[in-house]
Amino acid sequence: MALPNPSGDRKRPGFPAKLALHNTSTTRSRPAVTAAQLAGQRPVSRVIHGVGLDSSAVRQSMVAKLVRQGMSIPAVLHAMGRIERHRFVDTALVNQAYEDTSLPIGLGQTISKPGVVCRMLELLHQGRPGRLGRVLEIGTGCGYQAALLSLLCDEVYSIERLRGLHDKARDNLRHLRLANVHLLFGDGMPGYARGAPYAGIIAAAGGEAVPQPWIDQLAVGGRLVAPVSAGASGAGKQVLMVIDKTPQGVVQKVMEGVCFVPLKSGIA
């Protein structure tokens, strides 16, 4: 859902965006790639000998499994079928790229299983016709979810606290030339106020609670999807939390149990 900008004529950050006090790598501006354009193009494929992962049939088989799991939003399923997940995992793991499993991406982090990614994107998109406006992603990881978000949103601000993963995501996404994606290196706990307000915020790491800056940066009418601790009785378990920001206040809804890496502050 594209939301009005309450800041009026305030100039938005340019591409690529930068965080104060931290240097980020800059790339030459490229023409925007829309979902419709991407849908009509043959994906540029990394050559991986001995595996037929470049075939769209492999991705469509994954999408069919997602549908059997109950996923149903066409725009999200289309995105899942367009973005090649095997591009975002290590070469040694490409044969598992389209299985419904999480995989290590280095530095103690993982790429979430397709079912969880699709579920969170559907929760973010649910009830919102058309493309979302600006969205903030906390935890870029290898860049897979940022690529999916690029097909669902007008702008994506994705922040990663680990330099190694930030660089990996930049390399993984370069071939797609997604001019509507800002990759940021920095601490995601404070969010990214320069890009606010956001139509949506989605997090790939879970803490004890949703940080207040994220809620502050969510636009009225916007939605936040993040894993949080299940509480003292949860014995370290997590649940998905959906937060809607309405004119009357914040509405929270607890969803199913999940397992994400812990939310941390600082950079490394």
- Enumerate the active-site residues: 112
Q: Measured between alpha carbons, how far is 235 from 109 in angstroms, rounded to an integer?
A: 21
131: CB partners within 8 A, 6+ apart? 2, 35, 75, 152, 153, 154
Residue matched to tokens 């994400």: 260
Single-letter amino acid code for the residue at 164: G
- Assign 3-class secondary structure to the chain: CCCCCCCCCCCCCCCCCCCCCCCCCCCCCCCCCCHHHHHCCCCCCCCCCCCCCCCHHHHHHHHHHHHHCCCCCHHHHHHHHHCCHHHHCCHHHHHHCCCCCCEEEECCEEECCHHHHHHHHHHHHCCCCCCEEEEEEECCCCCHHHHHHHCCEEEEEEEECCHHHHHHHHHHHHHHCCCCEEEEECCCCCCCHHHCCEEEEEECCEECCCCHHHHHHEEEEEEEEEEEECCHHHCCCEEEEEEEEECCEEEEEEEEEECCCECCCCCC
Residue matched to tokens 């680990």: 162
